[in-house]
Amino acid sequence: MPKSILLIGFPKSGSTLAVDVLSKACSLRLPECGKAELLNADCNVEFRNQHLVASPAAFEDATDLLTRYSADHVVKDVVQPWLISAYLMQSGFRYNVVYLQRSRDELRKCQLRVGWDCPDPAYFEEMYLQLADAVLTTEELLTRPERVWDICRSMGYAVTPHDYTSDSEFQAKLRETQAFLLS
C-alpha cells in the first residue's frame, strides 16, 4: 500500500477541495471523517473536548489515529500544527506531506471574517514549509490541475488525470467558496 498524503495548511485555504482532488487523482481513500480534519474535535468524536497537545494520553490517542491512516489515504489537518509537527518527526515521516499555501493577506482576512483570532500565519508557514514534501498554492489548486498531477507523480503515485476544474461538483464548491469570501 502506498504512503498516505497528509495535507496541511490553514483553515479556509481550500483544503476540502484539495483533499477531494488528491484522493481522486491518486486513488486514495478518505478516513471515516471524510474530507474533514482528522484531529478536529468538531469532526472526530474521539477527541471531543480535549486539547490534544496538552494531554499526553490525548497526544498518544491522536498519534495512534494518525498512524492508523498512514497508508492508502488522504488525510488533512488545518487545526493542530504542533501535534502534526511532533507526530511527523516522531514517526519518521510516515506520510507524504503536501502544504496547501494561501496568500497571508487573504488568509488573515478570511480568518478575521469568521472570527478566528490566530497568531501571525508566518510563524506556522515556516514550520509547514519545513515539513512539506511538496507545496501547492490555492491558486494552483483552483486553476492548474497539471500542477496537482505533477506533485502526485513526484511522490510516487500513479495518477489518474482528470480536469476537475470543469467538473460541475467542483465548480459548485468553488462558487460557494467564492461567495463566502466575497460577501
Query: Average pLDDT for residues 88-96, to the nearest whole number?
Result: 88
Q: What is the CATH number of the domain that holds 96?
A: 3.40.50.300
Q: For residue 51, is pLDDT > 80?
A: no
State the pLDDT at residue 14.
82
State the pLDDT at residue 50.
45
Dist CA 61 CA 130 (whole Å): 25
As a residue count, the chain comes to 183
| Structural domain range at position 64 | 5-182
State the pLDDT at residue 40.
72
Query: Average pLDDT for residues 31-44, to the nearest whole number?
Result: 73
Question: How many domains does the chain divide into?
Answer: 1
Question: Contact 97/131 with Cβ under 8 angstroms?
Answer: yes
Q: What is the pTM of this model?
A: 0.85
Query: Average pLDDT for residues 120-133, to the nearest whole number?
Result: 84
Dist CA 151 CA 137 (whole Å): 11
Residue range 58-71, pLDDT digits in tens? 778 888 889 999 99
Element (H, E) at 88: helix 81-91
Which sign, positive or negative, has the C-alpha torsion 40, 159, 133, 178? negative
* Sequence-distant (≥ 6) Cβ neighbours of residue 32 within 8 angstroms: none
Residue range 70-91, pLDDT digits in tens? 999 999 988 778 788 888 888 8
State the pLDDT at residue 52.
45
